[in-house]
């Protein structure tokens, strides 16, 4: 943090401070500042910390030789000191959150509260995929963010399958989604709910809307009336307030002419009935949000808080689609990525904690994840980075665990020894077998390698190595290394001139785990047999 004039944000645990106060405050916080807000909020106070139960931002503008921050701070915060203040944290104010930005304004201070950013207030969230395909990484990330919010706040996670489009929804896809979530470790407190199953209630609401005059029938379908004037403001924790003028929104259809309810209505009603507090979903839903909010309003209810996540793009910068090999969760799993790495990577795709930490355990994630640090711009899925991260996770796994995972992945047993030798060379579970297969299935067939290292000279050196290995006792990595290095010295050769022929003889290729370790694992008999075979073939 920069020194000197800096805005201060202080973390304090204000027990019982009502978040409701916030709404009333933030709008006039702008220029009038503190006094006003304080009066409004009672004994308020402020601020911040990614983990504060109630997050209040003390914002001020130091630009104008105003009384210093400290002065302001002392005056304001003092009242709360008696309670519980850990005011040692300097954080910059303002924010990507428009609510804060608004308050920032100029002049002196504003006390703005950020209701839903409070990671600790129980949040009820939902993940609502439509079962029209596999769960791809975008959906997985949305599910993850919701889950982190629920778990991190002690709230609830609802899984709702949006299957009101019977033509495109399939049971098989539902199963794929459940399987993917399960693999990721994302569980839920309610569900899976079938949106189609709520049809009776949806129909009831449609009827209610019609009777109250908010909706009318048009060519058999039912539409919601959208006033010509006015506007609907969507409160979005990531994007700030987004205003939609009603004149740009036509009356929209909420029920098909066969009477069946449509998406916008079903979503609004289900979220309402489930008492969802935060709707966290992809940005592609942003434009529909005012419609859902209007339905809620017509019903006499306040909308939930929204948070629209940036979309994920393919490597070419375009929207992620099947064409980009739109990695589904299953594909990642089958490609040998482990759940921890996928979760960690996904968490970082659109969110960042600070400029230091890259690896996050699930627990850290639930603890640290907040919507205010979610970025606003689309991100590109970078498999290279996932690979790197996956490798890092594999390397830090205890040997037995890695072995167990690789055995499960390959369907083979007795891999412990080979895993030990290969663990530092693989980035995915799938990388193991190509590297280690020769231990179990015999040398790989790589003509070029044989040609290059088992030619005349290579063959002669191989014979020397063979003779030396035959006498090694016991047959261990250390003794093997000693004897082969002796050969190198005796021949006056370069190490690789002896080692590579041996490597190719036992593995069939030029790439393998450490040669001495590999020989030991193979055992003397098998090693010599392979070397003999190589000599004969050459």
Partner RNA sequence: GGCCCCAUCGUCUAAUGGUUAGGACGUCGGCUUUUCAAGCCGAAAACCGGGGUUCGACUCCCCGUGGGGCUACCA
| CB 85, CB 79: distance < 8 Å | no
Q: Which H, E and C letters describe 320-331, residue by residue?
A: CCHHHCCCEHHH
Binding to RNA (CB under 7 A) within 24-63 occurs at 63
Interacting residues with RNA between 253 and 282 (CB under 7 A): 253, 256-258, 262-264, 266
The rounded distance, in Å, linking the Cα atoms of 491 and 150 is 68
Q: Out of 149, 205, 348, 365, which residue is the one contacting RNA (CB under 7 A)? A: 348
**Which of these segments, 148-156, 327-335, 401-409, 504-512, binds RNA (CB under 7 A)?**
504-512
20 or 284, CB closer to RNA? 284
**Residue 397 makes contact with RNA by CB under 7 A:** no
Contacts 24+ apart (CB under 8 A), 92-96: 92/1, 92/6, 92/7, 92/9, 93/7, 93/9, 93/57, 93/58, 93/59, 93/60, 94/7, 94/59, 95/57, 95/372, 96/238, 96/372, 96/376
The label of the residue with tokens 């037995």 reads 400
Which residue among 76, 127, 516, 530 contacts RNA (CB under 7 A)? 516
Closest separation in Å from C-beta 510 to RNA? 4
Instruction: Output the CA–CA distances (angstroms, integers) from residue 266 to 153, 164, 195, 273, 309, in the order listed.
Output: 26, 8, 7, 10, 21
Q: Tell me how far, at minimum, the Cβ of 192 lies from RNA, in Å.
A: 13
Chain positions 312 to 341 lying near RNA, rule: CB under 7 A, are: 313, 317-319
Residue 379 near RNA by CB under 7 A: yes
Of 219, 229, 525, 536, the residue at the interface with RNA (CB under 7 A) is 219
For 519-537, the DSSP string reads HHHH-HHHHHHHHHHHHHH
Which residues, other chains included, contact 99 with Cβ-Cβ below 8 Å and sequence gap of 6+? 26, 112, 114, 235, 240, 241
Site string for RNA, 72-111 (x = CB under 7 A): -------------------xxxxxx---xx--x-------
Closest alpha carbon to 106 in 37, 35, 34, 31: 31
494 belongs to the catalytic site: no
**Contact between 367 and 152 (Cβ < 8 Å):** yes
Q: Counting contacts by CB under 7 A, is residue 395 touching RNA?
A: yes
Closest CA to 161 of 143, 137, 141, 147: 143
* Contact set for RNA, span 170-209 (CB under 7 A): 195
Query: Which tokens belong to 530?
Result: 């392979």
Residue of 287, 322, 323, 529 interacting with RNA (CB under 7 A)? 287
Nearest distance from C-beta of residue 205 to RNA, angstroms: 15
The single residue among 7, 156, 333, 530 that binds RNA, judged by CB under 7 A, is 7
**Shortest distance (Å) from residue 331 CB to RNA:** 18
124 near RNA, rule: CB under 7 A? no
Taking the C-alpha atoms of residue 260 and residue 255, their distance in angstroms, rounded to an integer, is 5
Is 3 an interacting residue with respect to RNA (CB under 7 A)?
Answer: no
Among 403, 483, 500, 527, binds RNA (CB under 7 A): 500
Helix (H) or strand (E) holding 493: none
Among 245, 318, 322, 385, which one carries the catalytic annotation? 322
CA–CA dist 76, 57 (Å, integer): 12
Restricted to residues 139-168, the positions that interact with RNA (CB under 7 A) are 162-165, 168
Binding of RNA by 510 (CB under 7 A): yes
Q: How many residues of this chain interact with RNA, rule: CB under 7 A?
A: 96
Cβ distance to RNA smaller for residue 195 or 366: 195
Catalytic residue positions?
322
């Amino acid at each position: 943090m920069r020194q000197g004039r800096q805005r201060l944000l202080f973390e304090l645990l204000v027990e019982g401070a009502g978040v409701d106060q916030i709404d009333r405050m933030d709008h006039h916080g702008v220029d009038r500042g503190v006094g006003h807000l304080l009066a409004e909020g009672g004994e308020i106070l402020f601020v911040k910390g990614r983990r504060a139960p109630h997050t209040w931002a003390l914002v001020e503008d130091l630009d104008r030789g105003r009384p210093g921050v400290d002065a302001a701070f002392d005056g304001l915060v003092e009242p709360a000191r008696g309670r519980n203040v850990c005011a040692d944290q300097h954080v910059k104010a303002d924010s990507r959150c428009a609510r804060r930005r608004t308050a920032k304004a100029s002049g002196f201070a504003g006390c703005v509260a950020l209701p839903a950013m409070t990671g600790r207030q129980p949040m009820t969230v939902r993940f609502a995929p439509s079962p029209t395909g596999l769960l791809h990484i975008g959906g997985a990330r949305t599910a993850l963010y919701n889950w982190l919010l629920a778990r991190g706040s002690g709230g609830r996670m609802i899984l709702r399958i949006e299957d009101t489009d019977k033509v495109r929804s399939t049971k098989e896809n539902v199963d794929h989604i459940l399987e993917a979530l399960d693999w990721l470790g994302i569980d839920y407190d309610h569900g899976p709910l079938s949106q189609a199953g709520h049809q009776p209630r949806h129909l009831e609401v449609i009827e209610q809307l019609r009777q109250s005059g908010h909706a009318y029938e048009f060519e058999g379908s039912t539409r919601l009336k959208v006033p010509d004037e006015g506007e609907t403001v969507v409160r979005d924790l990531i994007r700030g307030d987004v205003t939609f003028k009603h004149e740009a929104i036509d009356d929209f259809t909420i029920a098909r002419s066969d009477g069946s309810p449509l998406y916008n209505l079903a979503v609004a009603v289900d979220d309402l009935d489930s008492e969802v507090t935060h709707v966290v979903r992809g940005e592609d839903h942003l434009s529909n949000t005012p419609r859902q909010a209007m339905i809620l309003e017509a019903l006499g209810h306040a909308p939930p808080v929204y948070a629209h996540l940036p979309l994920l793009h393919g490597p070419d910068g375009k929207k992620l689609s099947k064409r980009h090999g739109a990695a589904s969760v299953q594909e990642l799993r089958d490609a040998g990525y482990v759940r921890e790495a996928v979760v960690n990577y996904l968490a970082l795709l659109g969110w960042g904690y600070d400029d230091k930490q890259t690896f996050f355990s699930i627990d850290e994630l639930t603890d640290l994840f907040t919507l205010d640090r979610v970025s606003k711009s689309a991100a590109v899925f970078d498999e290279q980075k996932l690979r790197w991260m996956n490798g890092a996770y594999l390397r830090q796994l205890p040997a037995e665990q890695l072995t167990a995972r690789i055995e499960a992945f390959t369907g083979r047993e007795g891999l412990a020894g080979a895993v030990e030798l290969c663990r530092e060379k693989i980035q995915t579970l799938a990388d193991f077998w190509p590297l280690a297969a020769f231990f179990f299935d015999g040398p790989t067939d790589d003509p070029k390698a044989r040609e290059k290292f088992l030619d005349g000279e290579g063959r002669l050196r191989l014979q020397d190595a063979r003779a030396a290995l035959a006498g090694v006792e016991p047959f261990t990595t250390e003794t093997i290394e000693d004897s082969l290095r002796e050969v190198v010295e005796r021949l006056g050769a370069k190490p690789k001139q002896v080692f590579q022929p041996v490597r190719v003889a036992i593995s069939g290729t030029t790439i393998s785990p450490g040669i001495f370790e590999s020989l030991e694992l193979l055992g003397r008999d098998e090693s010599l047999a392979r070397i003999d075979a190589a000599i004969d073939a050459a």
